[in-house]
């Protein structure tokens, strides 16, 4: 079922465009409002280009995607990223991550902002991860979430946590688990709403030094599972190409990464068949 406007309706082209924009924003509002505050965040353009299937990948964004993977980092670094849903300013996400490996483990910190003046969310977190033996690692993160809703609703401040596990049998195979909000935290009483508890299980297979495939399933306790798949191909030492797909809803993704000196630049976009493109980008600086 669609909504169409004909010249006989007496509406000008300018008015028709305004009506269509209002309808689109209304649809987007319904879409975004279905997501609960404090949900699992997939960070970094590399992750987004691979369909979000990066729970097993150790990089600066592990402090968002799976804290346990940060234990395998060998260099400290800092990264920033953004994602803009459907080229609408009010639907832009920004984030920053810092990771610092030590002999005692890796310490990480994150901050994330999304939304606009009427509704926005800020999330900060402090994490610690370490290896247990040669192949296994674990991580935990303490989160502070502030949800702001305009007018009489005000602010809501919440404390939660995240847990990560990672098993790297060798350079060719790895298995990871990430749990967000494992303990029920009440967001509101009327209606009764909790921060979403999410389980994410993923695997990575390195078929060759140049070709990596990742698979992942994410389950929110209240919604159907989400399946993700990503691929990364290294054409040269400093150039990577990535593609991915995810469900609920079905979206396609693609992107590339460049390395120069201490910097890593990643660009990506996801594509929804109805709503269009959502570009993203991230920059990492490593303290080599």
pLDDT per residue as tens digits for the range 168-187: 988 789 999 999 999 888 77
Instruction: Give the pairing type, strands 226-236 and 239-246.
Output: antiparallel
Please give the Cα distance from 238 to 212 (Å, whole number): 15
Tell me, yes or no, whether 102 lies in a domain: yes
| CATH number of the domain encompassing residue 152 | 2.40.160.60
Count of domains observed in the chain: 1
Tell me, yes or no, whether 49 lies in a domain: yes
11-25, 97-111, 147-161 — most confident range: 97-111
Q: What is the pLDDT of residue 200?
A: 97
Tell me, yes or no, whether 203 lies in a domain: yes
> What's the mean per-residue pLDDT of the chain?
86
Q: What is the pLDDT of residue 37?
A: 66
Tell me, yes or no, whether 173 lies in a domain: yes
Instruction: Give the pairing type, strands 226-236 and 119-132.
Output: unpaired
Please give the Cα distance from 113 to 148 (Å, whole number): 11
Q: Which domain holds residue 42?
A: 12-286
Q: Does the pLDDT value for residue 283 go beyond 60? A: yes
Which value, to the nearest 10 degrees, does the dihedral of the CA atoms of residues 92, 256, 249, 64 take? -60
Tell me, yes or no, whether 3 lies in a domain: no
Q: Does the pLDDT value for residue 19 go beyond 70? A: no
- Residue 56's nearest CA partner among 160, 197, 141, 171 is 171
pLDDT digits (tens, 9 = 90+) for 85-99: 888 877 888 999 999
Tell me, yes or no, whether 265 lies in a domain: yes
Tell me, yes or no, whether 107 lies in a domain: yes
Tell me, yes or no, whether 222 lies in a domain: yes
């Amino acid at each position: 079922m669609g909504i169409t406007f004909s010249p006989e309706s007496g509406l000008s082209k300018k008015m028709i465009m305004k009506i269509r924009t209002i309808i689109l924003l209304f649809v987007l509002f319904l879409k975004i409002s279905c997501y609960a505050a404090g949900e699992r965040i997939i960070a970094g353009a590399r992750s987004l280009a691979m369909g979000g299937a990066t729970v097993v990948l150790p990089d600066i964004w592990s402090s968002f995607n799976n804290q346990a993977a940060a234990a395998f980092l060998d260099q400290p670094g800092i990264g920033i990223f953004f994602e803009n849903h459907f080229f609408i300013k009010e639907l832009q996400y920004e984030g920053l991550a810092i990771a610092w490996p030590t002999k005692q483990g890796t310490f990480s910190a994150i901050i994330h902002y999304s939304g606009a003046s009427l509704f926005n969310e800020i999330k900060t977190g402090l994490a610690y991860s370490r290896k247990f033996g040669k192949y296994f690692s674990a991580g935990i993160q303490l989160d502070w979430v502030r949800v702001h809703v305009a007018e009489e609703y005000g602010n809501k401040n919440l404390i939660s946590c995240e847990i990560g596990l990672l098993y790297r049998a060798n350079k060719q195979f790895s298995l990871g688990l990430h749990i967000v909000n494992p303990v029920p935290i009440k967001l509101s009483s009327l209606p009764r709403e909790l921060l979403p508890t999410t389980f994410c299980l993923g695997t990575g297979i390195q078929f060759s030094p140049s070709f990596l495939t990742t698979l992942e399933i994410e389950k929110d306790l209240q919604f159907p599972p989400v399946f993700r798949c990503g691929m990364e191909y290294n054409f040269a030492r400093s150039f990577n190409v990535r593609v991915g797909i995810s469900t609920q809803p079905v979206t396609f993704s693609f992107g590339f990464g460049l390395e120069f000196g201490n910097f890593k630049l990643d660009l990506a976009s996801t594509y929804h068949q109805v709503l269009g493109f959502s570009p993203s980008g991230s920059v990492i600086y490593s303290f080599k």
